[in-house]
Structure 1
């Protein structure tokens, strides 16, 4: 009787473990990744309020019939982001400087705009060095100026590239980018964000909802990475 009871106990115990493993395995999630070279479309440029996308289309399509209109739209968006009304304590990026980056005739002649980066960044200044809020606004202005200069820079020896992360999942992400330098990039659910990095090899890690993601990337040009939880 004891042997029968022991056999039944072991059978039930083994079955329980097997079912638990099966249940756990069914919950395992995998990250779906899609890496692409960034191509900007006219529809994106006309509907987006992100300077990077509009500037990217202008750079890739300098002879397009709508390029001049998009340049004006880009300038207006940047001026709105730096308006005195919106941020009364910050010295805004001057319109002349923005136009010099965006509308300069040298843009379509393939000349190097690296020098504009330093001058543009200097024109975004802190009105109050002791204010964290002001610092954040100023840093955003510097990021925009740096991005525009990078996009319009035709120098093949440019040492920077940017990684755009498009988050297709319903969860917010914090992407850690580890290499010669370290970056943390916050990407909202169903949104996107980018970061400028020095060219080189990086390990990208994050957790997409409950799925872990880790990938080695050799960054030599601007790229876009879409992340989602695989179906």
Structure 2
């Protein structure tokens, strides 16, 4: 009798373990997605070193009392990123070019950016050691200039929008954006990156750690997409 109970007990125990393993192996990870319209706060604008965030706050809050100080800070960040010391073999954006991008909009009419006008007209052309050949602006400088022009653009018929992708996971991402045009965006772990795209419908695909992500998006305005592995 004892042997019979032992056999029944072992059978039930083994069956329970097998079902638990089966259940565990069939479970797949999912991606947690959060899509929002981008709203910039004063706290973000004052603490961030990203031109996109500072310019975005100025655009969304045209009458704010701290806009003049933020414009000066925006100029300083852009020019520091294109300084001779930072990139000795790259031709930076001139101050006049940056000033034109920032000031050529309705928010800045009648206001000074407190920039030295005489120095702003100077284009600094840098060359490699031992060579007189001019270098082209870096891709980062071109991307920054394009982004600022877009943010300060008041044309409702603007054909571009940008997608900011915030990666909350511990894994690096390569987000593929497929539509009439194709884009790839590298997003570091617990970091973010943005890309300008033509407005339209796109399929966004990536793999967040071990979880696959695919989503159809109709991009008609600037948006932020936050990705993470679901709990």
Question: So what's the TM-score if we normalise by structure 2?
Answer: 0.80
In 1: Cα distance, 2:222 partner to 2:196 partner: 9
Q: Which residue number corresponds to residue 100 of structure 1?
A: 100
Sort the Cα spacing of 1:183 and 1:105 in 2 relative to 1 into closer, same or farther, 3 A.
closer
Per-residue deviation, 1:75: 0.4
2:34–2:227 Cα contact (<8 Å) kept: yes
Sort the Cα spacing of 1:48 and 1:91 in 2 relative to 1 into closer, same or farther, 3 A.
same
Q: Which residue number corresponds to residue 114 of structure 1?
A: none
Per-residue deviation, 1:67: 0.3
Q: Which residue number corresponds to residue 200 of structure 1?
A: 200
Per-residue deviation, 1:177: 0.4
Sort the Cα spacing of 1:220 and 1:197 in 2 relative to 1 into closer, same or farther, 3 A.
same
Q: Which stretch of structure 1 is more off in the superposition, 214-223 or 98-107? A: 98-107
Q: Which residue number corresponds to residue 18 of structure 1?
A: 19
Q: Which residue number corresponds to residue 44 of structure 2?
A: 44
Structure 2 gap segments, 5+ residues each: 1-7, 110-122, 129-134
In 2: Cα distance, 1:228 partner to 1:62 partner: 34
Per-residue deviation, 1:126: 9.2
Q: Which residue number corresponds to residue 87 of structure 1?
A: 87
Runs ≥4 residues deviating over 6 A: 10-16, 123-126
Larger Rg belongs to? 2
Give the count of matched residue pairs: 206
Name the one with the larger helix percent: 1
Taking the TM superposition and a 5 Å limit, the aligned residue runs for 1:51-130 are 51-104=51-104, 106-108=106-108
Question: So what's the TM-score if we normalise by structure 1?
Answer: 0.80
